[in-house]
Structure 1
Amino acid sequence: YIGGTDERALHHLVAEILDNSMDEAVAGHANRIEVELNADYSMTIRDNGRGIPVDPHPKFPGKSALEVILCTLHAGGKFSGKA
């Protein structure tokens, strides 16, 4: 949950994405993180980590982990203990 659409919310979103990339690196699943400020003031963050899991979510039958992570409040990629 980002909490809004203002500048503060945008900074929160960038911090969350960067934090996910750093978690992958600290866990030994990534060794590269790229942060780019684009000409249109958008931002691109890339890493060579594992990505968002797409397997079925163990607590939500019939839904992929990807759907749960992106569409359910307080859901995250650490539900399986693998991240």
Structure 2
Amino acid sequence: MALGVKPMSHPLFELVSALESCHIHFTLQRHRPDTILVTITLVGERVEVDVFEDGHMEVSRLKGSESIVGGKDLVYELIEAEK
């Protein structure tokens, strides 16, 4: 890289910096070869952002009351339903 030339930033790094500056909890995961999944935890909702290699993003918002809806039996019921 030439002296004085600032490297281009990727939208993933810009998103992570914005989340960190606002002290918003997030995790990074990789489930596909062409994306990084950024899961953002907010009060009353979870936001999933797929950041692609080319920089575009796809966002899903999952809202809920976060109230308790069951216990151990419900967990295993949900697992069985996925088999």
* Greater RCO (Cα-Cα under 8 Å, separation 6 or more): 1
> Which structure shows the bigger proportion of residues in strand conformation?
2
Asked which structure has the greater CA Rg, the reply is: 2
The normalised TM-score by structure 2 is 0.29
